[in-house]
Amino acid sequence: MRISVAPVPQEFAGGDTGTGVVVVDVFRASTTIVAALAGGARFVLPVTDVEQAMRLAEPYAENEVLLGGERDCQRIEGFQLGNSPREYTREVVAGKVVIFTTTNGTQALAATKDSGAVFVGCFINFSAVADAVAGLEAVTVLCAGSGGRLSLEDFACAGGLVARLAKRTAQLDDAALAARAAYRTLKDDLARMLVSTEHARRLAGLGFRADLEFALKVDSIPVVPRLHDGRIEPSPA
Amino acid sequence: MRISVAPVPQEFAGGDTGTGVVVVDVFRASTTIVAALAGGARFVLPVTDVEQAMRLAEPYAENEVLLGGERDCQRIEGFQLGNSPREYTREVVAGKVVIFTTTNGTQALAATKDSGAVFVGCFINFSAVADAVAGLEAVTVLCAGSGGRLSLEDFACAGGLVARLAKRTAQLDDAALAARAAYRTLKDDLARMLVSTEHARRLAGLGFRADLEFALKVDSIPVVPRLHDGRIEPSPA
């Protein structure tokens, strides 16, 4: 198995159909997408800009669709939902199409357009997403980062996935080796480290502290979102 | 002190005059620049392309100047020197101007053009370069990487510098936290890890195994190159 990590989307070498990709945006897009599908959303439609989201919602009846996402960490005007995974409860999302746009996560998803199997990973579906790609010949973990810069939570999650996937014969690229090494130092005190970063403190300051706790509950929701033909649906186990 | 790391040049936020920058390209540009200055070169003129290097050499008499660097790891046609630090001995470089261009290292140096104090760091001048920036309010370690992707040796060196510089009150960005965490895992077996990466194996395969050993001798040459007005000269201790 070949395992590579793109610490930021700019380092993603581009997809090929033989490589599985796991898109990781721990705070919060990946976590929110997992929550939405676990809550029974029909599918999530990730889009990169707000106007496109509005346009894609038009053909749907009002009770069929929800607009979700954030800019500057906050719900977008005219959208029903923000980017807090705790909003995406079964009561709210069951049976609905969720059109979703965020600052970093949906941009990272867009970068995978020529890739083979594309999954959404984070801590809450950590083991499930690792199992989903464990049989592939090549896997890239694509970290969303923040504004083109490395995010510790995404890099640490990528490192954890590498540590779990890498058997003795695996070939790891430099970023995979680096992420795994970082994870090994951080893992015993992961939650404390990951809530102390600048981004986490910003989210906490805006009232989203509970989102951080939600996002750091490892294996709490074993749902594996898969992006296919522009839609994200649960991958069959 | 604020400490940040750019794992690849694309993540470098750009310079400001208040931030010291340490450009790290362990295999091999940083190491070679340190060796050249330690060997008594008058100064090193880093340039990003071969034609520019040739043009800048023209005004000098033949015995005043040396062209050095690599493309695809190999000496450039018409150049006197490659990118092997072991070529830059006192016999060869003393009193000479070295015009120098490499695939990643000199590109990273070019990215610092609006920065304040810019230094060249690697393992062979590790403690000396750390001491040179220890008094600054803000330091960015800019890793050259390889073709826009993270290089383990540069990231580990950056992590080591962060570990050494970060006092209790230091503010670290996410990449600095990640690099330090990776370094802590790798440090006890650093040389073995760093000669096993794809880039290191490629260099070894091309006959440059001794360069790797040269580059990994921590604190063997306590010279701190500083880039100022386009020239790299030894920083006064």
Express each pLDDT in A192-223 by its tens digit: 999 999 899 999 999 999 999 999 999 999 99
B45 neighbors B230 (Cβ within 8 angstroms): yes
What pLDDT, in 10s, does the model give residues A142-200? 999 999 999 999 999 999 999 999 988 899 999 999 999 999 999 999 999 999 998 99
The Cβ of residue B225 has, within 10 Å, a number of other Cβ atoms equal to 29
Nearest CA distance, B58 vs chain A (angstrom): 38
pLDDT given at position B237 = 57
Residues A153, B176: Cα–Cα separation, whole Å: 13
Euclidean distance between CA atoms A147 and A202, whole angstroms = 14
Interface predicted TM-score (ipTM) of this complex, two decimals:
0.95
> Strand pairing of B171-172 and B2-6?
parallel
**CA–CA separation, A17 vs B64, rounded Å?**
54
In angstroms, how far is the first alpha carbon of chain B from the final one? 21
Cα separation, A187 vs B63, in Å, equals 57
CA A193 to chain B, closest CA, distance in angstroms equals 9
Mean pLDDT, consecutive 10-residue stretches, chain B (237 aa), reads 96 84 98 98 97 96 97 97 98 98 96 92 98 95 97 98 92 97 96 93 96 97 96 89
Q: If phi over 0 gives left and psi between -120 and 50 gives alpha, with beta otherwise, what is residue B226? A: beta
Q: Please write down the HEC assignment for all residues of B183-236.
A: HHHHHHHHHHHHCCCHHHHHHHHCCCHHHHHHHCCCCCCCCCEEEECCEEEECC
Tell me if A175 and B11 make a contact (CB, 8 A cut-off).
no
- Yes or no: say if B15 and B142 are a contact pair by the CB < 8 Å rule: no
pLDDT of A164: 97
Q: What is the dihedral of CA A82, A88, A94, A97, to 10 degrees?
A: 30
- Chain A interface with B: residues with Cβ < 8 Å: 7-8, 10-11, 13, 146, 148-152, 155-156, 173-175, 177-179, 181-186, 193, 197-199
